A = this chain, B = another copy of it.
Amino acid sequence: MDRPDIPPDVVIRRLPLYARSLRYLIDEGVLSVSSQELGERINVTAAQIRKDLSYFGEFGKQGIGYDVEKLLAHIERILGLTHSWPVVLIGVGHLGQAIARYEGFHSKGLQIVGLFDTDPAKIGQTVAEVLIRDYAEIQGVIREHQVRLAIIAVPASFAQSVADTLIDAGVRAILNYAPIVLQAPEDVWVRNIDPVAVMHSMTYYLAREG
């Protein structure tokens, strides 16, 4: 089977799900897993898993399955998670605070190094032991820590201006919670967390069921 060089984005988006399932398996003390078993955990076929992984090399042995720890280490290497990425979070309202407290964000590979807001009542406080700083300082912090990743949790009307400021200082990937489609240069990755849009895509199907 030919191995294409560039894995499609949909494959890249599945890799973190594989990694998380493998971490659960390690917690459960499982040492080896078949593509069938791994697939059942994330609703993907065994064939799909084998195809996805084939972009990155040869894994597992026919009839034996994957060594869980080795496969996890390999996927984490592929995802660039062998070192920790500093992250800034802008907007410390209810949502921003929930994100800052979310343990998942302190998991392997991601470290929130700064929270930023413009509200004087919030600046100087801490959330989950991270200091809330004045948004006016953000470009300095991004440059100092060489931050490439940012989370935007400000109201929609401020989000584009914040994105422009972040990108100007060197941010290259943005997780955007504001309900607006951000404009960004082609070399900047923007992914949106948009629960209302997702809900509305489900009401479409429910409405059809009558």
Q: What total of chain A residues lie within 8 Å of the partner, measured CB to CB?
A: 59
Total identical chains:
2
The answer to whether B109 touches A195 (Cβ under 8 A) is no
- Pick from A9-17, A114-122, A131-139 the stretch touching chain B: A9-17
A43 and B191 alpha carbons, distance in the complex (Å): 12
Within 8 A of B (CB), among A29-64: 41-43
The answer to whether B85 touches A206 (Cβ under 8 A) is yes
- Residue of B97, B191, B196, B206 near A80 (CB, 8 A) is B206
User: Is A78 close to B, CB under 8 A?
Assistant: yes
* Contacting residues, chain B, for A105 (C-beta < 8 A): 195-196, 199
The answer to whether A204 touches B79 (Cβ under 8 A) is yes
User: Is A207 close to B, CB under 8 A?
Assistant: yes
A175-204, CB under 8 A of B: which get 1 and which 0?
Answer: 100010101000001010111111111111
Within 8 A of B (CB), among A98-123: 98-99, 101-102, 104-105, 107, 109-110
Whether A202 touches B149, Cβ cut-off 8 Å, given contacts A183-B43, A195-B104, A196-B105, is yes
The answer to whether A80 touches B16 (Cβ under 8 A) is no
User: Is A172 close to B, CB under 8 A?
Assistant: yes
How far in angstroms is the closest Cβ of chain B from A176?
Answer: 10
User: Is A143 close to B, CB under 8 A?
Assistant: no
Question: Which 5 A/B pairs are nearest by Cβ-Cβ distance?
Answer: A80-B207, A16-B200, A16-B197, A173-B202, A98-B98
- List 11 A-B residue pairs with CB atoms under 8 Å apart, sorted by A's residue number: A15-B200, A78-B204, A79-B203, A80-B208, A81-B203, A104-B196, A149-B203, A173-B202, A175-B199, A175-B202, A189-B202
